[in-house]
Amino acid sequence: MLKISHVSKTFNKGTVNEKKALTDIRLHLEKGDFVTIIGGNGAGKSTLMNMVAGVYPMDCGTIFLDGVNLSREPEYKRAALLGRVFQDPMMGTAASMQIEENLALAARRGRRRGLRWGVTREERARYHEELKRLGLGLEERMTAKVGLLSGGQRQALTLLMATLKEPKLLLLDEHTAALDPKTARKVLELTDEIVTGRHLTAMMVTHNMKDAIAIGNRLVMMSEGRIIYDVKGEEKKRLKVADLLAKFEEASAGAFANDRMLLS
Ligand SMILES: Nc1ncnc2c1ncn2[C@@H]1O[C@H](COP(=O)(O)OP(=O)(O)OP(=O)(O)O)[C@@H](O)[C@H]1O
Ligand SMILES: [Mg+2]
């Protein structure tokens, strides 16, 4: 489903701020793979997601999604194929628009302009159904402005929007990190339900090692712009946090002691 081959990225090449963020990344995902990505600060996790989404051009390498070469496609074209949820709950939704309007916008993702605007009765019924499944009572507030919602409610809505029109790939970049622990748990459960339940292909960055082990069928560890560990299936299920810590230590020669991963 996703084939990332030999992708490298250096920011600010040739300046004092030159930073090699990704080095020769190779990652192939099967359809239905749900991979969790862990790694210290600055390891290149977000940059990898941004490469797939086309936020910045790559220095070299190729990215194919479902057989389509995305390598030179602009961000807006890739957006039609991808679902994305970021760390910041304020980013994925339009605050001044209603819940149902946001959903209608998501349902029209990738379609040409000129479409008649408005939420049809059928759409409204579907959104009611989908919102109800979140279990947050949002189905009773469909004409409320999104700006009135809590961070967790907004993030759950963003997740629903990102998957309303089935994406070829769902990108989740620490999408629960800004939420309180209880809300984060709830949004994570919803994520698992949606991704696993609908057999979506997804990449989820997290700094919580327990979650990285418990969720998904594959785990990738990054360090200094490289993939240093990639496990799946039974081997992944058997992993312990201590195993991951040992890998980190090995990769960074103990330099991760201040990492926030240790705090979670
Ligand atoms: N737009 C940019 N311009 C310059 N440097 C950047 C840019 N984006 C990322 N970098 C640098 O690339 C490296 C990788 O950053 P990235 O955001 O991918 O890390 P990360 O693994 O997501 O870390 P975190 O866990 O802190 O989110 C870092 O050194 C970062 O400073
Ligand atoms: Mg990041």
Q: What is the pLDDT of residue 139?
A: 96
Is 39 a pocket residue for ligand 1 (Cβ < 6 Å)?
yes
- Kindly give the distance from the C-alpha atom of residue 125 to the centroid of ligand 2, in angstroms, as a whole number: 37
- For β-strands 82-85 and 2-11, DSSP reports them as unpaired
Q: Is 47 in the pocket of ligand 1 (CB under 6 A)?
A: yes
Q: Would the CB of 46 count as within 6 Å of ligand 1?
A: yes
Nearest atom, ligand 1, residue 43 CA:
21
The best mutation among 9, 19, 224, 252 to test binding of ligand 1, ranked by most ligand atoms within 8 Å of the C-beta, falls on: 19
Tokens of 5: 């081959």
Q: Which atom of ligand 1 is nearest to the CA of 56?
A: 1
pLDDT given for residue 263 in this prediction: 52
Residue closest by Cα to atom 12 of ligand 1: 21
- Second CATH level (architecture) for the domain 2-81+167-263: 3-Layer(aba) Sandwich (3.40)
What are the pLDDT tens digits along the chain (264 aa)?
999 999 999 999 999 999 999 999 999 999 999 999 999 999 999 999 999 999 999 999 999 999 999 999 999 999 999 999 998 888 889 999 999 999 999 988 877 654 566 788 999 999 999 999 888 899 999 999 999 999 999 999 999 999 999 999 999 999 999 888 988 999 999 999 999 999 999 999 999 999 999 999 999 999 999 999 999 999 999 999 999 999 888 877 655 555 555 555
- If one counts every other C-beta atom within 10 angstroms of the C-beta of residue 54, the result is 20
Nearest-CA residue for atom 18 of ligand 1? 44
Tell me whether residue 62 is exposed, middle or buried, using C-beta atoms within 10 angstroms of its C-beta: 0 to 12, 13 to 18, 19 or more. Answer: middle
CA 22 / ligand 1 centre spacing (Å): 9
- Is 11 near ligand 1, meaning CB less than 6 Å away? yes
Residue nearest to atom 1 of ligand 1 (CA): 11
> How many Å lie between the centroid of ligand 2 and the Cα of residue 42?
7
Task: Return the residue whose CA atom lies nearest to atom 5 of ligand 1.
Answer: 11
206 lines ligand 1 (CB under 6 A): no
The reply to whether ligand 1 has any atom less than 6 angstroms from the CB of 64 is: no
Residue 116, amino acid: R
Q: What confidence score (pLDDT) does residue 174 get?
A: 95
**How far is the centre of ligand 2, averaged over its atoms, from the C-alpha of 54 (Å)?**
16
How big, in percent rounded to 5, are the helix, strand and coil portions of the chain? 40, 25, 40
Q: Model's pTM, two decimal places?
A: 0.92
Q: Answer yes or no: are the C-beta atoms of 28 and 62 closer than 8 Å.
A: no
- Domain assignments of the chain as residue spans, ordered by start: 2-81+167-263
Q: Atom 3 of ligand 1 has which residue's CA nearest to it?
A: 11
- CA separation for the pair 264, 43 (Å, rounded): 18
Strand duo 202-205 + 169-173: pairing: parallel
